[in-house]
Structure 1
């Protein structure tokens, strides 16, 4: 089963996006259990700690594990979201926090390579509509003609492109290593980490008091944040079965020819705005190889039991694109492949909302393939919300169901 392709490069803003609603507030020193040590859960746990809460972080396999959406080597960080200012502004804050935290961790996590957008037509709303936001933040893009693109990056085939834009402020992040650094920081800053599986949640009403773990233990807390990534739908099957799903997304690492390796290593992150597949790539990857992925949705995937093996048809198609856009990589060998489970919301927007039948259970998810980079900014917002300093945003609200 293949699901409709969502354009998560620019999720549509909901009509009520600027509205907000109140959430229950919890006093400093209250206990919070965060389920899931991925990009959303790990950062939330860390910022809840920094806000003065007592925090327990729980994960079945550990931060950056190979089953998780954040278990690969790298992830793109970009602000460009078309006309959606919410995500642009959120990423600007996230970028500030990535830089701040890598200094605190004494570990380089952000690589400022820039992001190249390959545009086929004179007008490309996905990029054009973000230009005003970029200027507002003094993060201007650079317009590159194909002639200039050829001069700077002769590795790129440009004959079918109209132009490109270079976002000099973006780049890529270490993924697996970042999440392990966050988990370490949670422990060092006073939190408690437990590796155990949380049992799926039955229907909830009122106040949740206890969680049951696979090791036989139970956890009690004043509030609970479920940030289960690809497992969100199975954790709350009745509530979320129509709102989230998990798909199998593949990325490939190719070995550049020795005589071209250095040139490819120093290319910016790139995104091909063809309106269909949205191939993207991270050339450097700290010497892991030339990485290419595709945003079109794959088959429904079981993140626990599904095999992380490549699909021959998808690989063949990716090779065809690679040979076209980067001719020097036409015969490049495949050095490895990864599977990234996408936890898709129904419209590509994130989910951060109070469980509708409870007063102390928060749901945080819907990363939809573009969530990783926003992790620290979302974590900060989660902490502010539980502390009563901000309200829940309707942009990230659960959809009403009949």
Structure 2
């Protein structure tokens, strides 16, 4: 393994591979999926870039950390996200093809519904208008194709064969490795805003910057409490892995897609037994407010009970199988689930990037491109990503 790859994956400070000019860099604070892709796109635009993270790319407390994230193009009426997912998928494919281990598992994604609701109807209409593939399967077809799922009460499903799972932590770390190999600089350091608009404080030392992008995920409300303290909501999210039956291939990626159940009010989703780590299941629910620094990351008894009950209903072969692992991370959402890609309202050369949890990881390439275009060329993204569009009452509408 390349020495630079080793240092980055270990979370240590990595030296740039090429000599940098004396001109001030653009500094990107936060080496999660949004920050890393922003750094890459700025680099593609010919900018000198310093990427900084206080704990390492996609670390254990970051929203980009963890095993897997879903990539899909089904978004109801929100065709902007369908188009972003498609464009991002091509970037993920290229990155995965260059990596030593797969970053994208193309096992497909299945959403299933108890009846024809607006979200499903609008998803079908968007795919037809954009000429994108989307299979609609009735209950009989669903049972025949995926007998390991109990489809009682389900009327139909929507299947996207080209999508699947992104190996989150590995993908971000691979991206940072390649960013450094292409001449970018990565540094392990704690960052704080400076009173000087053209500076950021790195481990207590001021550093000049052409521009500063704060892509701090769940730390954004802490870094900018007056602006984002009531506009970015950080909440607890519980995830579990279940050991499939020994010798049973029906829960492997070749036999089972990523899935989401839109029935009964609560939304549950999960993945097959990716890379033998277990069958993943989560409830897409905004839990209690959560502090990424001090929050308890142990699964609650209530959360484990809810996940177990769902598995017993939908995946009967897993009903008695043991949980093999629990994870607790956090969502960091804007009021309605739209991303934040904008300038700081009063500090020149300072930019705010976040609000991505719950559905943002897949969009990293496009979000990074939009922020890079804003910083380098003053090209503003869609108005729904502006700070002005973010309210102080949480009411997520983007799913």
More displaced stretch, 219-228 vs 274-283: 274-283
Please give the residue correspondences for 1:312-391 in structure 2 after superposition, counting only pairs within 5 Å: 312-388=301-377, 390-391=379-380
Q: Which of 77, 87, 94 pairs up with 2:71?
A: 77
**Which residue does the alignment assign to 1:191?**
184
Q: Deviations along 1:58-86, whole A, 9 cap, x unmatched?
A: 10100121101111110000111110111
How big is the shift at 1:139?
A: 2.5
1:34, 1:399 → 2: CA distance?
22
User: Is the contact between residue 150 and residue 156 of structure 1 (CA under 8 Å) also seen in structure 2?
Assistant: yes
Please give the residue correspondences for 1:22-33 in structure 2 after superposition, counting only pairs within 5 Å: 31-33=25-27
2:98, 2:372 → 1: CA distance?
19
User: Is the contact between residue 139 and residue 169 of structure 1 (CA under 8 Å) also seen in structure 2?
Assistant: no
**Which residue does the alignment assign to 2:251?**
264
User: Is the contact between residue 244 and residue 273 of structure 2 (CA under 8 Å) also seen in structure 1?
Assistant: no
**Which residue does the alignment assign to 1:239?**
227
1:211, 1:292 → 2: CA distance?
40
**Which residue does the alignment assign to 1:92?**
86
More displaced stretch, 220-229 vs 389-398: 389-398
Give the CA RMSD over aligned residues: 1.8
How big is the shift at 1:343?
A: 0.7
Q: Deviations along 1:128-154, whole A, 9 cap, x unmatched?
A: 202233234432211111111111111
**Which residue does the alignment assign to 1:130?**
123
How big is the shift at 1:32?
A: 0.5
Q: Which runs of 5+ in 1 are unaligned?
A: 1-28
How big is the shift at 1:107?
A: 4.2
Q: Which of 210, 214, 218 pairs up with 1:230?
A: 218
2:368, 2:146 → 1: CA distance?
37
Q: Deviations along 1:263-322, whole A, 9 cap, x unmatched?
A: 111300000012632100111321110000111111111111112110110110110001
How big is the shift at 1:377?
A: 1.2
Q: Deviations along 1:223-244, whole A, 9 cap, x unmatched?
A: 0100001111101001111100
**Which residue does the alignment assign to 1:174?**
167
Matched, 1:42 2:39: no
User: Is the contact between residue 58 and residue 196 of structure 1 (CA under 8 Å) also seen in structure 2?
Assistant: yes
Q: Deviations along 1:98-142, whole A, 9 cap, x unmatched?
A: 112223445421111111111111x12222202233234432211
Q: TM-score, normalised by structure 2?
A: 0.88
**Which residue does the alignment assign to 1:12?**
none
Q: Which runs of 5+ in 2 are unaligned?
A: 1-22, 393-399
User: Is the contact between residue 278 and residue 295 of structure 1 (CA under 8 Å) also seen in structure 2?
Assistant: yes
Q: Which of 262, 266, 275 pairs up with 1:286?
A: 275
1:34, 1:245 → 2: CA distance?
22
1:107, 1:48 → 2: CA distance?
26
User: Is the contact between residue 76 and residue 126 of structure 2 (CA under 8 Å) also seen in structure 1?
Assistant: no
